[in-house]
Chains A and B, each alone.
Chain A
Amino acid sequence: MADALCYLSIAEAGRRFRAGDLSPVTLTQAFLERIERINPKIDAYLLVTGDRALDAAKAAEAALAEGRDLGPLLGIPVALKDNIETAGIRTTAHSRVLADHLPERDAFVVEKLKEAGAVPLGKLACLEFAHGAPSPDQAFPPARNPWNRDHGFTGGSSTGSGAAVAAGLAMAALGTDTGGSIRNPAALCGTAGLMPTYGRVSRRGVIPYSFSLDSCGPLAWTVEDCALVLNTIAGHDPSDPGSAALPVDDFTDGLGDGIEGLRIGVLRHFFEDDMVADREMAASIDAALAVLAGLGAAVADARARPLMDYHDVKILIGESEFFAAHEHDWMARAGDFGASLQYRTAEGAMIPAVDYLQAQRARRHLAAEMDALFDDFDALITATVLDPAPPMARHSGGPRARKPNPSQPFNVAGVPALSVCTGFNAAGLPLAMQIAGRAFDEATILRLGHAYEAATPHRDRRPEF
């Protein structure tokens, strides 16, 4: 019974709160009990703030009783990637460097969640500073994939966010995304995950990886729940220089209106030519496209620049900005960085300033070309990742070769992108597709993702413990 509560969607829990047959305290207790039992198996949480969660749940319960309805996240248990600052609660970014870091103030997104009456359960594992690898020398264990706990990588860098949502240890989690860090764990853990448009969600209080590429957004079991969280955390924040002064829509408006007539461009060359996706992954994307066509969407192939063009720009910008953000700590105490990040950080120091600037100049062209694609299409679909969850060992260690991935183009272009589960392979590991949209048009890609989920049975399957 208690476990079943942890598999409710946010929308369902909200309906039951308001019907009076479930209380925020009961729901929060169910999550805390489940976390105690399941988290040791997957290490999704670095820190559980149970007492604070129960206090927040009691406040939510009181608000409901008094008729002060703060909206859909009232009383909803959520969790935060540990690179998102929380006042008076340790925020480590999964690094020894910040092992004792107690922020004085909540990040903008945390303030928004609290104002909406959400119940933060704790802080989630991630790749070190959202950029390292799960090497065994780190202060905390890496999160493990609930679909393959023995050795399955969750995808990164929002590792705990993907694992916690898939395992029913939070109804939604916040992640951050610089080159796929929300969408990759969403794909490998079988959840939905949305990287909003660059500028849609404030990064004030988010420990930076790359100032001009970072986004903050939700992972949740359903697309509808991602929309509900985005409603809460989106909005202009003058204290984030990248924040856009635009009105925020209600992203659940029109979610169920269907997709008849929507024009979908398929960026097939990203996963068939530029890089080659796993056979079952590619087949699941084709099957998903057939479902969307059956729902009335017009599906045609589209073409963007080769993945390598986006990859080059992302690496030059991302590595340079990462070093700029972390230079002080790396020079002063590099030994406290995990082995993998010791090397990766140094890469940024070796990129000439002029190469960084040329990449920013190239980025402008790539973004403009991506914007132009949306003259012909309402959304673009491609792979989120090329392969299902790989073994953890493949992602640990020292300096390693990188390869282009289909998530990076949308960080470079600064447009929103959503990962949606497209089923499971023969080994029972999740498969996924990625839906990208026009800048600030999250509503259309959420509508597509929601229509797909409603037409398929993939949300009925959960990992077994």
Chain B
Amino acid sequence: MTEQGQGAIRERLADLFAEAGLTLDDEAMDRMVALVAENRAAGARVRRLVGRYDEPAFALGPRRRG
């Protein structure tokens, strides 16, 4: 992720925590940014597994009712 991308995440996290009445210290902010970046990478990876117009799964139970 680019520095600019990380900066945008940092800004959104600060806003989100402020809205909830919390503050993030520098260390926690760095770890949160890393986790969010990790989730973005996961989002990129799962795209490899799907076809162009595949439907989502949502709930598997009803799908298997028979």
Contact = CB atoms under 8 A, between A and B. Distances in A.
Interface stretch (A18-26, A105-113, A313-321, A426-434): A313-321
Interface stretch (A88-96, A156-164, A185-193, A341-349): A341-349
Interface in A308-360: 308-309, 311-313, 315-316, 319, 330-331, 334-335, 342-343, 346-347, 349-352, 354-355, 357-360
State the 3 A-B residue pairs at the shortest beta-carbon distance, nearest first.
Answer: A199-B61, A355-B43, A360-B56
B46 A355 contact: yes
Contacts of B64: 199, 244, 414, 439-440
A352 B17 CA distance: 17
Interface in B11-49: 12-13, 16-17, 19-22, 27-28, 31-32, 34-36, 38-40, 42-43, 45-47, 49
A199 B28 CA distance: 38
Contacts of B61: 197-200, 242-244, 414
A364 B62 contact: no
A363 B63 CA distance: 13
Given A355-B39, A355-B40, A246 B22 contact: no
Interface in A175-205: 197-200
B44 to A, nearest CB: 9
- Interface size class on chain A is 35 or more
Contacts of A349: 16
Nearest to B9: A350
Contact of B59 (A198, A319, A361): A198
B59 A199 contact: yes
A244 B38 CA distance: 34
Interface of A: 197-200, 211-212, 241-246, 308-309, 311-313, 315-316, 319, 330-331, 334-335, 342-343, 346-347, 349-352, 354-355, 357-367, 398-402, 413-414, 439-440
Contacts, number: 139
B65 A362 contact: no
Given A355-B46, A414-B64, 19 more contacts: A198-B59, A199-B61, A242-B59, A242-B62, A243-B61, A309-B49, A312-B42, A331-B20, A334-B22, A342-B22, A343-B32, A347-B32, A352-B43, A358-B47, A359-B43, A360-B56, A360-B58, A361-B54, A367-B57
6 contacts: A316-B43, A330-B20, A334-B21, A347-B39, A357-B56, A400-B31
B9 A361 contact: no
A315 B60 CA distance: 17
A350 B40 CA distance: 9
A242 B57 CA distance: 12
B3 to A, nearest CB: 18
Contact of A346 (B13, B54, B57): B13
A309 to B, nearest CB: 7
A312 B42 CA distance: 5
Contacts of A200: 61
A364 B31 contact: no
B17 A346 contact: yes
Contacts of B59: 198-199, 211-212, 241-242
B43 A358 contact: yes
Given A350-B9, A357-B56, A398 B16 contact: no
A295 to B, nearest CB: 30
Nearest to A368: B57
A351 B16 CA distance: 13
A315 B40 CA distance: 11
A187 to B, nearest CB: 24
B1 interface: no
A244 B36 contact: no
B55 A364 contact: yes
B10 to A, nearest CB: 11
Nearest to A369: B49
Contacts of B27: 398
A151 to B, nearest CB: 24
